[in-house]
Amino acid sequence: MRVDFPLPVRPTTPIFLSPGIVQLIPLSTMGMSWLYLIWRSSN
């Protein structure tokens, strides 16, 4: 029995982020915490 795993996903910068956001938000964060970080840093 063979299990195929997906290829590792490289973190990329989403194109919808505004230039005001300096910190890269890791895509490995769980839940909606990354949305809070985007909202907080954009205000």
* C-beta of residue 20 within 8 angstroms of C-beta of residue 41: yes
d(CA 3, CA 22) in angstroms, rounded, equals 39
Q: What is the extent of the structural domain holding 21?
A: 13-43
Q: Mean pLDDT across the stretch 30-37?
A: 56
| SS3 assignment for the chain | CCCCCCCCCCCCCCCCCCCCCCCCCCCCCCCCHHHHHHHHHHC
pTM for the structure as a whole: 0.16
For the chain, the domain total comes to 1
Q: For a pLDDT cut of 70, what percent of the chain falls above it? A: 0
Q: Is residue 35 part of a domain?
A: yes
* Residue 13, pLDDT score: 52
Q: Is residue 1 part of a domain?
A: no
* Residue 20, pLDDT score: 54
Q: Is residue 24 part of a domain?
A: yes
Q: Mean pLDDT across the stretch 9-23?
A: 55
Q: Is residue 19 part of a domain?
A: yes
* C-beta of residue 32 within 8 angstroms of C-beta of residue 43: no
4: left (phi over 0), alpha (psi -120 to 50) or beta: beta
